[in-house]
Amino acid sequence: MSNEHPFENIPLEEEITDLSEFFKTFGDPTRLRILFFLAQGEKNVQSITEELGIQQATISHQLSTLRMLRLVSYRKEGRKVFYSLDDHHIFDILKIGIHHIQEGQR
Amino acid sequence: MSNEHPFENIPLEEEITDLSEFFKTFGDPTRLRILFFLAQGEKNVQSITEELGIQQATISHQLSTLRMLRLVSYRKEGRKVFYSLDDHHIFDILKIGIHHIQEGQR
DNA sequence: TGTATATATGCACATATATACATGTATAAG
DNA sequence: CTTATACATGTATATATGTGCATATATACA
């Protein structure tokens, strides 16, 4: 995927805006923890809360952000709500990020 | 790259922190515009300033951020400074991001 | 030396954002 | 209908962040 030709055309204003919102969503430790946990498979809110040891309201707020930016999808089952990563892009970006970080250890 | 097994181990606290800083850097329209421009090849500060039509000081501030997070590298030539994308990861992440955005048009 | 050009940096400020606390809504169970 | 459980949402607030303005540094050139 790398070392190809640059982007055919520089993205439009609107795309830049959307894209920055998209990436911004990865830019918070709590949200990243949620995403990495979801990378293990579908999880409900309670189990996320327990895993991260963070207030339930905080988790819900962040899940709301993740939903809006389409980083996660969800499914209701009774009063539980199960979240999962929205598509493979999310997984790929996390992987590349980790690689970049780990290669950069000085 | 996608649909593989989840991350072997959930990243360490420090990796999460570094990673969120890394992604946060993509989460600003001005920085994204700089990155997309640099994806076309090495550019000096002046040309970036002209391309984006933004204050020189603002560009330098953002380049400083991009340098610290190792999204760009640079090279001095006389009093000019030429910036370029640091490694292929940066390019790849931008590409995946664009794909995600463009697929998501409702 | 002195001046112009290219870039970086310090500081201030307005805005954005993450979290805590309280409360609302929905579903299940008795 | 009442109570408990799972989750979402509203509001307030402290902190982080992007940008503008002024100024500093460095290199080239006269």
User: CA–C1' distance A7–C15 (Å)?
Assistant: 32
A99 touches chain B (CB under 8 A): yes
- B104 within a domain of the structure (yes/no): no
CB pair distance less than 8 Å for A89 and B104: no
Per-residue pLDDT at B90 exceeds 80: yes
Per-residue pLDDT at A7 exceeds 90: no
Distance from the B50 Cα atom to the nearest Cα atom in chain A, whole angstroms: 15
Number of domains in chain A: 1
- B78 within a domain of the structure (yes/no): yes
Task: Give residue-wise pLDDT tens across range A48-84.
Answer: 999 999 999 999 999 999 999 999 999 999 999 999 9
What's the whole-number mean pLDDT along residues B18-40? 97
Burial class (CB in 10 A: 0-12, 13-18, 19+), A71: buried
- A7 within a domain of the structure (yes/no): no
Task: Give residue-wise pLDDT tens across range A30-51.
Answer: 999 999 999 999 999 999 999 9
Tell me, what's the pLDDT at A10? 75
CB pair distance less than 8 Å for B101 and A36: no
- B103 within a domain of the structure (yes/no): no
Per-residue pLDDT at A95 exceeds 80: yes
- A3 within a domain of the structure (yes/no): no
Residue B22's CATH number: 1.10.10.10
- B2 within a domain of the structure (yes/no): no
In chain A, what percentage of residues exceed pLDDT 90? Answer: 79
Render the burial of B53-86: b for 16+ CB within 10 Å, e for the rest.
eeeeeebeebbebbeebbbbeeeeeeeeebbbbb
Domain span at A45? 13-100
- B105 within a domain of the structure (yes/no): no
What's the whole-number mean pLDDT along residues A8-17? 85
- B62 within a domain of the structure (yes/no): yes
As a whole number, the mean pLDDT across chain B is 92
Per-residue pLDDT at B67 exceeds 90: yes
